[in-house]
A and B are shown apart, each in its own frame.
Chain A
Amino acid sequence: MFADEKLINVPFDVYRYDASRGGEPRYQHYELRLAPHTPILTGLLRIRDELDPTLSLRYSCRSAICGSCAMLVNSKSRLACHTPVGPEVREHGRIVVDPMRNQPILRDLVVDQQPFWSRYEKMEPHLILDPKHPMPEGRTTPMSPAQVERFKETPRCISCAACFSACPAVEADPAFPGPMALAKLYRFVVDPRDTAQTHRLRTIQTEGLWLCLRCHLCTEACPKDVRPSERIRDLKELAVQAQGGTEAGSRHAIGFLKNIEERGTLNELKLVRQTSGVTGLAASLPQGVRIWRKKPEVTKSPPPIEDLDQVKKIYAALKDEKAEES
Chain B
Amino acid sequence: MLKHDIVVVGAGLAGQRAALAAARAGHDVALVSKLHPLRSHSGAAQGGINAAVGKEDSVETHIYDTVKGSDYLGDQDAIEFFCQQAGPTVIEMEHFGTIFSRSDDGSLARRAFGGAGFPRTIYAADRTGLALLQGIYEHLGTETIRIYEEWFLLSVVVRDGRVQGITAFDRKTLKVEGIEAKAVILATGPFGRVYGRTTNAHSCTGDGVAAAYRAGAALKDMEFVQFHPTALMESSILITEGARGEGGVLKNVNGERFMARYAPHVLDLASRDVVSRAIVTEVKEGRGFPGGFVHLELMHLGKEKVETRLQEICDFSRTYAGVDPVTEPIPVYPAQHYMMGGISTNMKGEASLIGLYAAGEAACVSIHGANRLGGNSLLETLVFGKQAGLAAAEFVGTAPDPEIRDDDLDKETARIQELWNRSEGESPRALRAELQQTMDQLVGIYRSPEELYRGLRQVRALQERYRNVRVIDRSTTYNIDLTDALEVGNLLALAEVIVVGAIARTESRGAHTRLDYPARDDKNWMKHTLARWTPNGPELSYAPVAYTRWEPKERVY
Contacts and interface: CB of A to CB of B under 8 A. Distances in A.
A155 B134 contact: yes
Interface string B468-490: 00001101111111001000000
A106 B476 CA distance: 11
Contact of A65 (B96, B312, B331): B312
A148 B99 contact: yes
Interface residues on B, range: 35 or more
Interface stretch (A51-59, A229-237, A257-265, A277-285): A51-59
A184 B295 CA distance: 38
A262 B475 CA distance: 40
Contacts of A67: 38-39
A62 B237 contact: yes
Interface stretch (A24-32, A136-144, A248-256): A136-144
A135 B95 CA distance: 7
Contacts of A108: 478
Interface in B159-185: 172-173
Contacts of B90: 140
Contacts of A147: 102
B235 A63 contact: yes
Interface stretch (B72-80, B135-143, B393-401): B135-143
Contacts of A60: 35, 39, 41, 201-203
Contacts of B130: 65, 155-156, 158
A126 B323 contact: no
Interface stretch (B246-254, B314-322, B409-417, B532-540): B314-322
B95 A141 contact: yes
Contacts of B321: 1-2
A54 B477 CA distance: 11
A125 B141 contact: yes
Interface string A131-161: 0000100111111110110010001101100
Interface residues of A, number: 57
A148 B101 CA distance: 7
Contacts of A301: none
Nearest to B479: A56
A203 to B, nearest CB: 17
Nearest to A59: B202
B97 A191 contact: yes
A2 B481 contact: no
Interface in B61-101: 88, 90-91, 94-97, 99-101
A1 B481 CA distance: 34
Given A19-B477, A113-B36, A48 B429 contact: yes
Contacts of A64: 315-316, 319
Interface string B429-443: 110010000000000
B94 A141 contact: yes
A21 interface: yes
A18 B43 contact: no
B437 to A, nearest CB: 14
B131 interface: yes
Contacts of B234: 2
A62 B281 CA distance: 29
A137 B100 CA distance: 18
B291 interface: yes
Contacts of A106: 172, 477-478
Contact of A143 (B43, B102, B433): B102
A187 B202 CA distance: 30
Contacts of B96: 127
A59 B41 CA distance: 11
A141 B96 CA distance: 11
Contacts of B311: 156
B383 interface: no
B546 interface: no
Contacts of B479: 56
A66 B35 contact: yes
A21 B475 contact: yes
A145 B94 CA distance: 15
| Most A C-beta atoms less than 10 A away, residue of B102, B142, B237 | B102
B473 A62 contact: no
A251 B43 CA distance: 39
A275 interface: no
Contacts of B323: 1
A132 to B, nearest CB: 16
A148 B41 CA distance: 25
Contacts of B124: 155
Nearest to B95: A135
B480 A57 contact: yes
A287 interface: no
Nearest to A108: B478
Given A49-B427, A61-B43, 17 more contacts: A1-B322, A49-B429, A53-B481, A56-B477, A57-B480, A61-B39, A61-B201, A62-B235, A64-B319, A65-B44, A67-B39, A126-B139, A126-B142, A140-B90, A141-B95, A144-B104, A144-B106
Q: Which 7 A-B pairs have the closest CB atoms?
A: A142-B106, A2-B322, A20-B477, A54-B473, A126-B138, A135-B95, A140-B94
